[in-house]
Amino acid sequence: MKKAVILLSGGLDSITALAIAQEQGFDCYTLSLDYGQRHAAELQAARNLAATTGVSGHKVIPLALDAIGGSALTDTRIDVPDTPGEGIPVTYVPARNTVFLALALGWAEVLGARDIFIGVNAVDYSGYPDCRPAFIEAFTQLANVATKAGVEGGQFSIHAPLIKMSKADIIREGVRLGVDYAGTVSCYAADDEGRACGRCDACRLRAAGFRDAGVEDPTRYAR
């Protein structure tokens, strides 16, 4: 079996990307980043998901992006907005997916894996620049010129299987693959028990996705 590293945040999209990788026959290793986000609930969700999905390995790497700040997800002085604003929202974390993929690339090289999966989406998303096809294409090129494995002929592939899917389509695909979304955490402002606020952009997109997919929403809300 070919090995693959899957970025697993504990949310709806990343667990679906993992299920797709497993269906494709990859031997999966999941990677989560403790990057100074507002809550640890998504990290615990990722650990639980890794334990119940039969992955071959799971790592949580500490990464202090809160030392940089600049995002409502890493700087408690910036409020998570309840309503959508203009342009790229304050929940964008500067260079997050670039850093995440770089770490996934490093682990993949150590494992002898040449495939990396990330659950980014460019349809029902918040407008983040590092969720677009152009970003994935550019990082794939980088991976193959910036690594020992790449320059010695081992071609890396960055898989973004959800990138052109709506949130409803992602949920339908996950249901087909047997994903249990009850244990996922998507909320930007979840409490310590992983209960969602029901107001942030992530909550709105998630709720609309379940509604449009015609699937019962298993999300636990704080109120």
- What's the Cα-to-Cα distance from 150 to each of 22, 109, 157, 171, 223, rounded to whole Å? 24, 9, 10, 34, 49
Task: Round to whole Å and give the CA distance between 101 and 106.
Answer: 9
Task: Round to whole Å and give the CA distance between 55 and 189.
Answer: 28
Q: What is the pLDDT of residues 101-134, one digit of tens each?
A: 999 999 999 999 999 999 999 886 668 899 999 9
Write the class of the CATH domain 3-180: alpha beta
pLDDT on residue 154: 87
Task: Round to whole Å and give the CA distance between 62 and 194.
Answer: 20
Length of the chain: 223
Domain boundaries, the chain: 3-180
- What parts of the chain have a pLDDT lower than 70? 84-85, 124-126
pLDDT on residue 49: 97
Q: What is the DSSP string of 66-103?
A: GGT--STTT-TTSPPPSS--SSS-TTPPTTHHHHHHHH
Task: Round to whole Å and give the CA distance between 73 and 66.
Answer: 8
Residue showing tokens 């009850």:
182
pTM of full prediction above 0.85: yes
pLDDT on residue 217: 95
